[in-house]
């Protein structure tokens, strides 16, 4: 533990408190501070001027990161017949119907993203209390209830992530790995901020993106300069 504290202290000394950094500079600092033996995740947290308790201020969406997440995504698909075959061909890790639902009810949730064809929602709907709290419930607005299971599986495997505002008005997302180049991390960060800006709800008043912080798994946070435009630095 002292070793971790010493490393964290050294990393913190390279960050000026209460200073906001341009995106490219923030990425350089965060990547430079990611010195753990494992490949740390680069994470962003954005404080939004919304109250998610109100339906017209809920923020939720999907974004495809241009350079992927660096993480292997396990995908489960509820489908039958030709759609099930298409899902398997696209690389889905689990494909099924009632059998897959039974596995989930037994607590075997061996996937990160869940996709379903519309005709399977009668089966999937019974899993709401299990998948809902985990943010895994298929949703047509997010493209996870679809006839195009092939496209949905490929998108999930190719770097598409979901974001959702939490009760405190904060959105968290992993946007890459420390092993990525600075350019790759910055491109992913801009794509995420742009998508978040586009997801601004009609009920949001005043400043929408109030504060944003970039960090690595074991490193200190670095505040970002947020322009009034979408994702600008």
Which residues, including other chains, have CB under 8 Å from residue 56's CB and lie 6 or more apart?
201, 202, 203
CATH topology of domain 18-69+160-224: Ribulose 1,5 Bisphosphate Carboxylase/Oxygenase (3.30.190)
Start-end of CATH 3.40.50.790 domains in the chain: 75-157
190 three-state secondary structure: helix
For 99-103, which contacts have Cβ atoms below 8 Å and span 24 or more sequence positions? 100/76, 101/126, 101/127
Cα 116 to Cα 49, 100, 148, 150: the distances in Å are: 33, 11, 10, 11
pLDDT tier, 91 (very low <50, low <70, confident <90, very high otherwise): very high
In the prediction, which pLDDT does 16 show?
A: 67
35 vs 10: CA distance, rounded Å: 11
Nearest CA to 174 out of 35, 42, 59 is that of 42
pLDDT tens per residue across span 116-172: 999 999 999 999 999 999 989 999 988 999 999 999 999 999 889 989 999 899 999
The answer to whether 212 touches 221, Cβ cutoff 8 Å, is: no
pTM of the model: 0.79
Query: In CATH terms, is domain 75-157 a member of 3.40.50.790?
Result: yes
Nearest CA to 157 out of 81, 83, 68 is that of 68
pLDDT higher than 50, residue 1: no
DSSP state of 79: -
In the prediction, which pLDDT does 9 show?
A: 61
In the prediction, which pLDDT does 231 show?
A: 39
Burial zone of 229 (CB within 10 Å; 0-12 exposed, 13-18 middle, 19+ buried): exposed
pLDDT tier, 15 (very low <50, low <70, confident <90, very high otherwise): low
Start-end of CATH 3.30.190.20 domains in the chain: 18-69+160-224
* Residue in the block written with tokens 């939720």: 60
């Amino acid at each position: 533990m002292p070793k971790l504290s010493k490393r964290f202290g050294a990393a913190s000394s390279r960050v000026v408190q209460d200073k906001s950094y341009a995106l490219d500079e923030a990425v350089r600092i965060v990547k430079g501070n990611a010195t753990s033996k494992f490949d740390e995740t680069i994470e962003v947290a954005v404080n939004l001027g919304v109250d998610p308790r109100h339906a017209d201020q809920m923020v939720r969406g999907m974004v495809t990161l241009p350079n992927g997440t660096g993480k292997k995504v396990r995908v489960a698909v509820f489908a039958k017949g030709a759609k099930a075959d298409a899902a398997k061909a696209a690389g889905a890790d689990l494909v099924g119907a009632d059998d897959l639902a039974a596995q989930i009810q037994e607590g075997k949730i061996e996937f990160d993203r869940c996709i379903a064809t519309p005709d399977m929602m009668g089966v999937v709907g019974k899993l709401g209390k299990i998948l809902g709290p985990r943010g895994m419930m298929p949703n047509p607005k997010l493209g996870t209830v679809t006839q195009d299971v092939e496209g949905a599986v490929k998108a999930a495997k190719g770097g598409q992530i979901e974001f959702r505002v939490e009760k405190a008005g904060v959105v968290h997302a992993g946007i890459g790995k420390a092993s990525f180049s600075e350019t790759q991390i910055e491109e992913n960060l801009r794509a995420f901020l742009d998508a978040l800006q586009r997801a601004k709800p009609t009920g949001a008043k005043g400043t929408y993106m109030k504060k944003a912080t970039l960090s690595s798994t074991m490193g200190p946070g670095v505040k970002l300069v947020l322009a009034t435009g979408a994702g600008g630095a």
